[in-house]
Chains A and B, each alone.
Chain A
Amino acid sequence: MGEEEGLHQTQLLDTMFVRGLKRKCFDGEEDIEGTLAGFKAIPSYNLQRQSLLDMSLVKLQLCHMLVEPNLCRSVLIANTVRQIQEEMTQDGTWQMINTQSAGQTSLDRLVSTDILCRSSKEQAEGKLVPVYSTFAKDCEGTQSQDNSEIMSTVTSPQVPRNLQSNMWEMENPQENRGNFQKSLDQIFETLENKSPNTVEDLFSEVDNSYYDLDTVLTGMMSNTKMGHCDLETFPSQTSANSNSNCKSDLNELDHIVEILVES
């Protein structure tokens, strides 16, 4: 986004956030489709709120510098993120976006990625890998339903806590940034690939350590459970457990993949 566009957008956001425009009446699908279809002259409240959320997440990620990040600033940003997410959950915006039919969502809607994991190496060293909340939407169409279900990982309000843990206990800023970027790239790659072998490719090319398979598998069942999984796998106390879980689940997933491919 160019400089001017960025400035323009924040100016619009300014007018929007002037007073406590907490929430507009949720108009229903019609409104959502309208805003998603194209950019209007003045972005809707939902889009602006989403934009604020994006901005906040970027800020949190950019905290990782050589000098320890400012804890007060991080706490305030994290609280803002939680506030937005709580409002979005109450709005039902989460559910709305998740049930969108194929084709409407594009990669642009992918606000940020939730790569929740601990590589086996890092667990051995007792370090923590960054945790960010997922706002990935369904990216596949209904044709390859398996893909979409595996990829859909929506977070519930538990997400902000992950952010916080990440920040407060950051052990390895440089590495974390690298990890995140790499994971993000991988996600984009796999999403663009719509061939039938996508699922296999997904798990063959990507380093398995970047996916929390608990999260992925549970995602196939229900969306709401996602948050719980994220929470559980993150804290360092459960390091040993999640490692073994990853491995066993990986085997299980391989098994499932084999079945799908054969059929």
Chain B
Amino acid sequence: MKIHKRSSALRKMKCFPCQFSNTIKSAQSNTSALMSASFFDQADIISTVEFNHSGELLATGDKGGRVVIFQQEQENKIQSLSRGEYNVYSTFQSHEPEFDYLKSLEIEEKINKIRWLPQKNAAQFLLSTNDKTIKLWKISERDKRPEGYNLKEEDGRYRDPSTVTTLRVPIFRPMDLMVEASPRRIFANAHTYHINSISINSDYETYLSADDLRINLWHLEITDRSFNIVDIKPANMEELTEVITAAEFHPNSCNTFVYSSSKGTIRLCDMRASALCDRHSKLFEEPEDPSNRSFFSEIISSISDVKFSHSGRYMMTRDYLSVKIWDLNMENRPVETYQVHEYLRSKLCSLYENDCIFDKFECCWNGSDSVVMTGSYNNFFRMFDRNTKRDITLEASRENNKPRTVLKPRKVCASGKRKKDEISVDSLDFNKKILHTAWHPKENIIAVATTNNLYIFQDKVN
């Protein structure tokens, strides 16, 4: 399906606002004219979005440590023209704020990442993590309830055994669907620094967790032990110049994983080579373009996200201004590069001042690995079709779109005369950033998270 068709036919399905608190707080106190003041509860800021393997469930994590799971309606395909809509399925508090007494520092409850396990039985499992602790959650449905106990009343009180004159067999009666989430494993105390990534291995038994300086390998059943497989902490912390920014297991090879760094490099490691994978098998790095060199070169080369393609042949990295596709067989440069918002290159100093240059954008593949998507500012998000080389900019906002309306492509005017419907760089709102996006693994349904709203779009089915 060509990109332009898809883009013009993208319809908004639903927008899920988070609760707005009565207290007015500003999101970022910054006097720059580039930023707008926003009024909402900080806890509602969405910090991660992830579809499960079938796409039926969509999980979001927020800054308040909560996980909200949406479920796609199983609709009658003959009747409706669209795919099922997503409704809230379960909400639970995954992490609570903690206090590290030794360092006199708070440990944020913000959910950094959620990863689903493939479904093995009726229940669903996901891993959620904050800065320090990873938890395995079981989400199960209950739609039947046993009734007719001999020794208990219906409300749970115990009967006096002397009043029991007959025996009966309890039977299951249907009840209103209840979705329960319970923590099954807690993987704690393995990370000194802040966890930025978790990734489940293709063996479905182990997973890795990465913080700024170390990567640990866990077994899903064992919580009191983990193996350190990467450690880049220097002996003398004064010599620290590089940190780990993201890590992921290869989708097919259970011995292979990659991790990206703040210097713009990606290292591919093979766990069969040694217990400690400090020496990479492959190093992916693009030589710097000398004509674009500035004091901000290193900062904008820092990779904020790395994702393997579903096929496992390619991987995608996101740095501040671009998305790069790498062929795993070629280390010296990416095979494709897409500019997300090149017009920001002349604004780097302002973006450094207001800290926007440190924003960590994520990226994602569609199910067939033909299109990649990533977010930008002003609630814009971008899609790049790898086959047609077309790209499109769309906006996730409530003002312009009612449900079922088709999204209009947007354009940013970099310089010179501004055409009608174009937006000039100076009027972009840098407070409205889309950091997290997700694509349904099988269908053309996408989830886009603005600061505190979740948008779900699908392409129009004719």
Chain A residues in contact with chain B, CB under 8 A? 3, 6-7, 10-11, 13-22, 49, 52, 55, 59, 66-68, 70-73, 75-76, 78-80, 83-84, 161-162, 164-165, 168-169, 171-173, 231, 234-235
Given A84-B295, A168-B237, residue A75 in contact with residue B242 (CB < 8 A):
yes
Q: Do residues B243 and A20 form an inter-chain contact, with CB atoms below 8 A?
A: no
The distance in angstroms between the C-alpha atoms of A169 and B233, with both chains bound, is 13
Given A22-B293, A68-B105, A161-B238, residue A14 in contact with residue B243 (CB < 8 A):
no
Q: Do residues A235 and B105 form an inter-chain contact, with CB atoms below 8 A?
A: no
* Complex partner residue of A165 from B107, B238, B295, B350, CB under 8 angstroms: B238
Residues of A within 8 A of B32 (CB): 6-7, 10
Q: Which residue of chain A is the closest to B354 with respect to CB atoms?
A: A10
Q: Do residues B348 and A14 form an inter-chain contact, with CB atoms below 8 A?
A: yes
Query: Which 3 A-B pairs have CB atoms at the shortest separation, nearest pair first?
Result: A20-B293, A161-B238, A168-B237
Q: Which residue of chain A is the closest to B193 with respect to CB atoms?
A: A71
CB distance from A179 to the nearest CB of B (A): 16
The distance in angstroms between the C-alpha atoms of A235 and B236, with both chains bound, is 9
Given A20-B294, A68-B103, A71-B193, residue A76 in contact with residue B239 (CB < 8 A):
no
Q: Which residue of chain B is the closest to A12 with respect to CB atoms?
A: B349
Q: Do residues B349 and A76 form an inter-chain contact, with CB atoms below 8 A?
A: no
Chain B residues in contact with chain A, CB under 8 A? 31-33, 103-108, 131, 193-194, 212-213, 236-243, 245, 262, 290-299, 302, 345-350, 352-353, 355, 358
Q: Which residue of chain A is the closest to B237 with respect to CB atoms?
A: A168
Q: Do residues A14 and B347 form an inter-chain contact, with CB atoms below 8 A?
A: yes
Of the listed residues A15, A19, A68, A231, the one surrounded by the most CB atoms of chain B closer than 10 A to its CB is A68
Query: Could you name 17 residue pairs across A and B whose Cβ atoms are closer than 8 Å?
Result: A3-B31, A7-B32, A7-B33, A10-B349, A10-B350, A10-B353, A14-B346, A17-B348, A20-B291, A68-B131, A71-B194, A72-B358, A75-B242, A75-B262, A78-B241, A164-B240, A172-B104
The distance in angstroms between the C-alpha atoms of A49 and B294, with both chains bound, is 11
* Complex partner residue of A18 from B31, B106, B107, B346, CB under 8 angstroms: B346
Q: Do residues B299 and A14 form an inter-chain contact, with CB atoms below 8 A?
A: no
Q: Do residues A75 and B240 form an inter-chain contact, with CB atoms below 8 A?
A: yes
Q: Do residues A17 and B298 form an inter-chain contact, with CB atoms below 8 A?
A: no
Of the listed residues B345, B348, B349, the one surrounded by the most CB atoms of chain A closer than 10 A to its CB is B349
The distance in angstroms between the C-alpha atoms of A231 and B105, with both chains bound, is 27
Q: Do residues B108 and A17 form an inter-chain contact, with CB atoms below 8 A?
A: no
Residues of B within 8 A of A168 (CB): 237-238, 240
Q: Do residues A83 and B295 form an inter-chain contact, with CB atoms below 8 A?
A: yes
The distance in angstroms between the C-alpha atoms of A234 and B237, with both chains bound, is 12
The distance in angstroms between the C-alpha atoms of A6 and B353, with both chains bound, is 10
Residues of B within 8 A of A165 (CB): 237-238
Residues of A within 8 A of B348 (CB): 14, 17
Given A66-B106, A68-B105, A168-B237, residue A55 in contact with residue B352 (CB < 8 A):
yes
Q: Do residues A70 and B194 form an inter-chain contact, with CB atoms below 8 A?
A: yes
Q: Do residues A17 and B353 form an inter-chain contact, with CB atoms below 8 A?
A: no
Q: Do residues A76 and B262 form an inter-chain contact, with CB atoms below 8 A?
A: yes
Q: Do residues A80 and B241 form an inter-chain contact, with CB atoms below 8 A?
A: no
* Complex partner residue of A80 from B237, B299, B346, CB under 8 angstroms: B299
Residues of B within 8 A of A234 (CB): 238
9 more contacts with CB within 8 A, not counting A7-B31, A19-B291, A73-B358, are: A7-B32, A20-B294, A55-B353, A67-B108, A68-B105, A70-B194, A76-B262, A164-B239, A169-B237
CB distance from A181 to the nearest CB of B (A): 19
The distance in angstroms between the C-alpha atoms of A169 and B345, with both chains bound, is 33
Q: Do residues B349 and A52 form an inter-chain contact, with CB atoms below 8 A?
A: yes
* Complex partner residue of A79 from B241, B352, B355, CB under 8 angstroms: B241
The distance in angstroms between the C-alpha atoms of A165 and B294, with both chains bound, is 25
CB distance from A56 to the nearest CB of B (A): 8
* Complex partner residue of A72 from B107, B212, B349, CB under 8 angstroms: B212
Q: Which residue of chain B is the closest to A48 with respect to CB atoms?
A: B349
Q: Do residues A83 and B298 form an inter-chain contact, with CB atoms below 8 A?
A: yes
Q: Do residues B237 and A164 form an inter-chain contact, with CB atoms below 8 A?
A: yes
Q: Do residues A18 and B345 form an inter-chain contact, with CB atoms below 8 A?
A: yes
Residues of A within 8 A of B297 (CB): 20
Q: Which residue of chain B is the closest to A11 with respect to CB atoms?
A: B350
Q: Do residues B238 and A19 form an inter-chain contact, with CB atoms below 8 A?
A: no
The distance in angstroms between the C-alpha atoms of A153 and B245, with both chains bound, is 36
The distance in angstroms between the C-alpha atoms of A73 and B298, with both chains bound, is 12
Of the listed residues A3, A18, A59, A231, the one surrounded by the most CB atoms of chain B closer than 10 A to its CB is A18
* Complex partner residue of A17 from B103, B240, B245, B296, CB under 8 angstroms: B296
* Complex partner residue of B238 from A10, A79, A164, CB under 8 angstroms: A164
Q: Do residues B349 and A14 form an inter-chain contact, with CB atoms below 8 A?
A: yes
Q: Do residues A79 and B298 form an inter-chain contact, with CB atoms below 8 A?
A: yes
Q: Which residue of chain B is the closest to A170 with respect to CB atoms?
A: B103
CB distance from A240 to the nearest CB of B (A): 19
Of the listed residues A13, A14, A59, the one surrounded by the most CB atoms of chain B closer than 10 A to its CB is A14
Given A19-B291, A72-B302, residue A161 in contact with residue B239 (CB < 8 A):
yes
The distance in angstroms between the C-alpha atoms of A75 and B240, with both chains bound, is 7
